[in-house]
Amino acid sequence: MNILTFSTLIGLASILAGFLGALTGLGGGVVIVPLLTLVFGVDIKYAIGASLISVIATSSGAASAYVKEGFTNIRIGMFLEVATTFGALLGAYIATKLSNSVIAIIFGLILIHSAFLTLKRIGESSLALKSDSLARRLRLDGAYPAPAGLESYHVQGVPVGFCIMFLAGSISGLLGIGSGALKVIAMDQAMHIPFKVSTATSNFMIGVTAAAGAGIYLNRGYIDPVLAMPVMLGVLLGSLIGSRQLFEAETKKLRIIFSAVILLLAIEMIYSGLRGHI
């Protein structure tokens, strides 16, 4: 197989990954890493490096739109990015020290968790009536556009959210995924931030987190432009198509199908990792 054919096939697979990732809210990295590893035989560390590059690209487009619409809380995003960035650096460093088999097993377990989150839709938590002392000192409270006008909200559980963000960043750097679902859980459930604000702020943060991890992979030589370019363009195009189809899709059926595919990929990743085939 020559480079042109390989890049074309990778690009088409990445479009599918970005499309499914946008429709389910989990991001294309959850699909593209096991696809590259299991179907195309790419070394998992190179697959993770390419996935991180695609996360940076897709996050940048979505983040700018949310900031313009007024949903993103930039102060919260900048504060929590401290945790996710350090987490991503640690995760990426650990990944370069682990064997491919161990990474594959960890990835398979995270895929199973992602499938569970896909089936169990995250509901919006009850909003806090007042902010805690740390949130007041950092001025994290804000407001977001609602049908009746700007609606204010208060922030609580800042230390808990910060710790969860560190974990999310570690997973992102280790496995090359955005960990958006975990970021949303931290803000929505632990910090009592409105779900729309949590989602928008998560998109704002994902690109910075991925960039931190990508720097480690680049330094270790695990980012190949021949692989990263079609992955980035494909996931970006697929996510744009998926976001436009989101309102027309039958969400329940889509989540069931996507979860089934993710579970199959998870089983294969764990099996290949245990057998040492990756």
Read off the tokens for 146. Answer: 């609602």
Identify the CA nearest to 179 among candidates 273, 92, 65: 92
With 80 as the cut, is the pLDDT of residue 13 above it? Answer: yes
Burial label for 129, CB within 10 Å (0-12, 13-18, 19+), is: exposed
Please give the pLDDT value at position 238.
Answer: 85
Read off the tokens for 217. Answer: 């992979």
Per-residue pLDDT tens digits for 97-149: 999 999 999 988 988 887 776 666 555 556 667 888 888 999 999 988 877 78
Mean pLDDT of 156-176: 90
With 90 as the cut, is the pLDDT of residue 83 above it? Answer: yes
pTM of the model: 0.79
DSSP state of 125: P
Per-residue pLDDT tens digits for 222-247: 999 999 999 999 988 887 787 666 55
Measure Cα distances from 107 to 61, 95, 277 in Å.
Answer: 26, 11, 14
Please give the pLDDT value at position 248.
Answer: 59
Break the chain into its structural domains and give their ranges: 3-275
Per-residue pLDDT tens digits for 44-67: 999 999 999 988 877 776 677 778
Average pLDDT, the chain: 83
